[in-house]
């Protein structure tokens, strides 16, 4: 019988049985335990961060104004609106600009009113966010108004329908003393608008008792005759509808 090879000098049992490891020393076991505890603690912190982030109040949406957004995105009663781009506006008069579709509808409405002997005049149209900032904060300071009081009659910057290029303030050219006052509702111009403005896709933004809590403004009308305009003013329309249902 041949002599066993060099590779067979270790019995099979010894070749297939794993070598026994020496137990880890106490310091090593302690280090592993501490590492595991640290990992578990870190995971717990990460799980808690999500809920905690929701509890951290975001900064106010308008610098210099401490008020914060409500659940529906409103600030002091007003919904947020984007500022129309310069290239998306057309001139309708000295210092007056609107979106083209709103401008066309307004021109047709004024012509129809004139045919009925009513002289509609445009007092204000698009207002940039920068201009709205001055109207809000500067006048607020001049009149010593609180933010809430000022928001009753003027939207904070970034929250004005005028910034969209779809809203206008209208007056009666024959009764300028009623401009931008509640007494405008006594004029022929307002009575005509009340009966006919909807035909030209203009609606009152802030009627009496409106759910936004904004002061009654019979002179303020917005255009809703395009898909983009309807989408932009849908939150305000929805809030108004909910008020009618109740």
Domains belonging to the chain, first-starting first, are 86-245 (3.30.1380.10)
Confidence of residue 34 (pLDDT cuts 50, 70, 90): low
The residue length of the chain stands at 246
Predicted local distance difference test score (pLDDT) of residue 37? 59
Tens digit of pLDDT for each residue in 183-206?
Answer: 999 999 999 999 999 999 999 999
Predicted local distance difference test score (pLDDT) of residue 63? 84
Average pLDDT for the chain? 84
Predicted local distance difference test score (pLDDT) of residue 181? 97
More confident residue, 27 or 93: 93
DSSP conformation letters of 195-224:
HHGGGGTEEESS-TT-TT-PPP-TTEEEE-
| 138: Cα separation from own chain's centroid | 23
| Average pLDDT estimate for 4-22 | 45
| Average pLDDT estimate for 128-144 | 94
Q: Is 167 exposed, middle or buried (0-12, 13-18, 19+ CB in 10 A)?
A: buried
Q: How far apart are CA 233 and CA 218, in angstroms?
A: 18
User: Could you tell me the two tokens for 120?
Assistant: 């509609």
Q: What is the dihedral of CA 110, 111, 117, 119, to 10 degrees?
A: 30
Phi, psi of 11 (to 5 degrees): -55, 150
Predicted local distance difference test score (pLDDT) of residue 61? 80
């Amino acid at each position: 019988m041949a002599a066993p090879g060099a590779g067979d000098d270790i019995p099979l049992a010894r070749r297939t049985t794993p070598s026994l490891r020496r137990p880890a020393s106490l310091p090593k076991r302690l280090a592993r335990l501490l590492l595991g505890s640290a990992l578990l603690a870190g995971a717990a912190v990460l799980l808690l961060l999500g809920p905690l982030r929701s509890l951290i109040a975001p900064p106010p949406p308008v610098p210099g104004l401490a008020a914060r957004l409500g659940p529906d995105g409103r600030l002091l009663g007003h919904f947020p609106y984007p500022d129309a781009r310069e290239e998306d506006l057309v001139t309708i008069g000295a210092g007056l600009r609107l979106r083209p579709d709103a401008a066309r509808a307004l021109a047709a409405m004024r012509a129809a009113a004139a045919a009925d002997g009513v002289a509609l005049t445009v007092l204000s149209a698009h207002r940039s966010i920068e201009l709205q900032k001055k109207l809000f904060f500067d006048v607020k300071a001049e009149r010593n108004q609180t933010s809430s009081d000022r928001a009753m009659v003027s939207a904070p910057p970034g929250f004005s329908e005028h910034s969209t290029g779809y809203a206008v303030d209208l007056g009666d050219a024959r009764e300028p003393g009623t401009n931008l006052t509640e007494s405008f509702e006594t004029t022929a111009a307002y009575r005509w608008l009340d009966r006919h403005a909807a035909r030209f896709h203009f609606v009152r933004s802030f009627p009496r008792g409106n759910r936004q809590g904004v002061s009654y403004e019979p002179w303020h009308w917005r255009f809703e005759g395009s898909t983009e305009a309807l989408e932009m003013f849908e939150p305000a329309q929805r809030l108004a509808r909910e008020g009618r249902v109740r």
